[in-house]
């Protein structure tokens, strides 16, 4: 039992040591650098990682969690350990800092003042001790240093500025702990994802951008009402937009048109406009049908995917395949792009007698549009392509903690860099020759050179006050 306690004590001492803190800080720095240098899945475009890295490299980096460093379990453990180190280190050193802050040493004696790092003796020149302290207090006030009245009554001139600077390191430590806590909350309960939506499509879950691609259910239904693109006069894209509708229990609760920098946020989940483009599938095709025997008048109709229409002769038609930019590679039909540059269409036919058939026709090569089995020639008259809206999705439950920690960190850095805890004591004493002197001593917690310059100005002002007092007293003693 004693041995176990000894091991636990040593482990606790190591975790709370400066050495451990530096090691953990270095590891977090290396991990953060890796997360910056290696393309992260939450920030990558679809297929971008496969284009950049070899399959073996992808498997290795996925196994190490380096494609999503800031959500990796080992990175969150590092943050937790570093936060624990900061807490333990702060608790060990905080009592002394709090003593300086809560119970400052105001009343001093000659021995205490002479031990201070910056000390000056000013001869009183016949000025009474109490009057000398009052003159010094007046000089300090003139230079915006306020003496503490109770200690002045006890024979000690005491001036203090920016005591709050003593707590600056602990404000910084607290801010780092809050930031780490926010990052851990984000890493455990947050996610980033990407979804492509076409008008009319509803979703209830998001596939996260990580190696597992875990689906995160949404606590609501998101519907894309419409999407589009604004263009400049020359036709180049200006901005993309999407009209989104949030539904709960079959009832609309929110709608918003989002842009690149104007996301929709609902229940802590944000949807950003990321991209917009053709889906490669038609919203509808307009087709003209003509019968070879001439017994049935030509018919023009619009056909949507998964829709079935009846023609004048009783034939049922359904859209089978749509190739937007047709090209024949050997015996295979493929598309060169998602734009309808050279469309090819295949219709699925059900004849009046129930026989199944199909018919291909080509917009760019009408000579290839042979009559179908029932003797119907089809021609593509018009097409409206479908477009998708690409949305980045982010849930960051620790975002407020991170932002609050950053603001607190800024405050702590301002206190640490621009505020100096200054304390000055003054007492009446005797110099080496037994003469009465005003003994002034000061102590800054940093920036000593700057303090010495300021201290010299204070001493010069006090000397002038005492000299003026002595001259007035001398003038009062000379008879008129």
Q: What is the pLDDT of residue 216?
A: 86
Q: What is the pLDDT of residue 221?
A: 95
Domain span including residue 311: 281-384
Q: Which residues pair with 392 in a beta bridge?
A: 194, 272
Q: What angle do CA 435, 438, 439 make, to 5 degrees?
A: 105
Residues 367 and 393 in one domain: no
DSSP state at residue 39: P
Phi-psi region of 52 (alpha: psi -120 to 50; beta: other; left: phi over 0): alpha
Asked if the structure places residue 170 within a domain, the reply is no
Return d(Cα 82, Cα 22) in angstroms, integer: 9
Return d(Cα 418, Cα 426) in angstroms, integer: 26
Residues 236 and 305 in one domain: no
Q: What is the pLDDT of residue 450?
A: 92
- Please, where are the H alpha helices in 143-203? 149-153, 168-189
Tokens matching residue 172: 């910084």
Residues 216 and 290 in one domain: no
Asked if the structure places residue 303 within a domain, the reply is yes
Query: What percent of the chain is modeled with pLDDT above 90?
Result: 50
What radius of gyration do the chain's Cα atoms show?
A: 40
Residues 274 and 285 in one domain: no
Return d(Cα 201, Cα 223) in angstroms, integer: 6
Return d(Cα 363, Cα 379) in angstroms, integer: 7
Averaged confidence pLDDT in the chain: 88
Q: Is the pLDDT of residue 3 over 60?
A: no
Q: Is the pLDDT of residue 224 over 70?
A: yes
Residues 450 and 433 in one domain: yes
Asked if the structure places residue 398 within a domain, the reply is yes
Return d(Cα 204, Cα 208) in angstroms, integer: 13
In the block, tokens 């004493």 appear at 429
Return d(Cα 423, Cα 289) in angstroms, integer: 97
Asked if the structure places residue 203 within a domain, the reply is yes
Asked if the structure places residue 369 within a domain, the reply is yes
Residues 89 and 113 in one domain: no
Residues 190 and 247 in one domain: yes
Q: What is the pLDDT of residue 318?
A: 94
Phi-psi region of 434 (alpha: psi -120 to 50; beta: other; left: phi over 0): left
Number of domains composing the chain: 4
User: What three-state secondary structure class fits 165?
Assistant: helix
71, 95, 119 - which closes a domain: 95
Q: Which residues pair with 305 in a beta bridge?
A: none
The enclosing domain of 443 has a CATH number of 3.30.310.80
Residues 286 and 378 in one domain: yes
pLDDT tens sequence across 326-353:
887 777 778 888 888 889 999 999 988 8
275 near 239, Cβ under 8 Å? no
Query: CA separation (Å) from 116 to 33, 165, 267, 308, 334?
Result: 45, 19, 59, 96, 87
Alpha carbons within 13 A on the beta-carbon side of 41:
23
Asked if the structure places residue 323 within a domain, the reply is yes
Q: Quote the strand ranges of 249-268, DSSP E.
A: 251-258, 264-266
pLDDT tens sequence across 30-60:
999 998 899 887 777 667 788 888 888 888 9
Asked if the structure places residue 175 within a domain, the reply is no
Length of the chain: 480
Residues 253 and 393 in one domain: yes
Residues 201 and 322 in one domain: no
Residues 197 and 341 in one domain: no
Asked if the structure places residue 172 within a domain, the reply is no
Residues 205 and 272 in one domain: yes
pLDDT tens sequence across 71-80:
889 999 999 9
């Amino acid at each position: 039992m004693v041995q176990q306690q000894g091991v636990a004590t040593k482990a606790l001492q190591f975790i709370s040591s400066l050495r451990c803190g530096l090691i953990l800080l270095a590891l977090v720095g290396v991990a953060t650098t890796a997360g910056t240098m290696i393309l992260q899945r939450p920030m990558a475009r679809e297929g971008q990682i496969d284009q950049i890295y070899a399959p073996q490299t992808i498997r290795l980096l996925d196994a190490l969690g380096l494609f999503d460093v800031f959500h990796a379990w080992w990175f969150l453990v590092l943050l937790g350990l570093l936060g624990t180190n900061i807490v333990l280190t702060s608790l060990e050193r905080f009592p002394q800092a709090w003593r300086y802050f809560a119970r400052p040493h105001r009343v001093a004696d000659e021995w205490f003042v002479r031990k201070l790092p910056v000390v000056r003796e000013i001869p009183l020149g016949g000025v009474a001790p109490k009057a000398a302290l009052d003159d010094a207090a007046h000089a300090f006030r003139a230079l915006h240093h306020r003496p503490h009245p109770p200690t002045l009554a006890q024979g000690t001139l005491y001036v203090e500025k920016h005591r709050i600077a003593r707590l600056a390191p602990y404000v910084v430590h607290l801010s780092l702990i809050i930031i780490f806590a926010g990052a851990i909350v984000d890493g455990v309960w947050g996610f980033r994802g990407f979804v492509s939506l076409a008008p009319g499509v509803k979703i209830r879950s998001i596939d996260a951008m990580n190696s597992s691609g875990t689906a995160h259910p949404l606590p609501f239904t998101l519907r894309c009402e419409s999407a589009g693109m604004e263009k400049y006069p020359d036709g180049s894209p200006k901005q993309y937009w999407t009209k989104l509708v949030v539904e709960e229990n079959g009832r609309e609760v929110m709608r918003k048109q989002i842009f690149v920098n104007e996301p929709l946020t609902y229940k802590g989940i944000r949807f950003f406009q990321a991209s917009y483009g053709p889906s490669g599938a038609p919203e509808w095709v307009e087709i003209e049908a003509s019968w070879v025997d001439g017994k049935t008048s030509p018919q023009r109709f619009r056909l949507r995917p998964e829709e079935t229409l009846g023609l004048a002769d009783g034939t049922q038609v359904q859209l089978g395949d749509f190739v937007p930019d047709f090209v024949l590679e050997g015996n295979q039909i493929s598309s060169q792009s998602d734009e309808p540059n050279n469309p090819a269409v295949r219709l699925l036919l059900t004849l009046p007698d129930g026989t199944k058939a199909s018919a291909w026709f080509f917009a760019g090569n009408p000579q290839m549009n042979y009559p179908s089995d029932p003797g119907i020639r089809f021609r593509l008259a018009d097409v409206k392509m479908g477009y998708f809206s690409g949305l980045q999705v982010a849930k960051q439950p620790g975002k407020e903690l991170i932002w609050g920690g950053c603001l607190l960190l800024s405050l702590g850095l301002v206190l640490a860099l621009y505020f100096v805890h200054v304390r000055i004591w003054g007492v009446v004493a005797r110099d080496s020759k037994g003469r009465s002197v005003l003994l002034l001593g000061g102590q800054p917690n940093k920036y000593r050179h700057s303090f010495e310059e300021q201290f010299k100005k204070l001493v010069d002002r006090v000397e002038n006050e005492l000299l003026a007092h002595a001259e007035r007293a001398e003038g009062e003693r000379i008879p008129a």
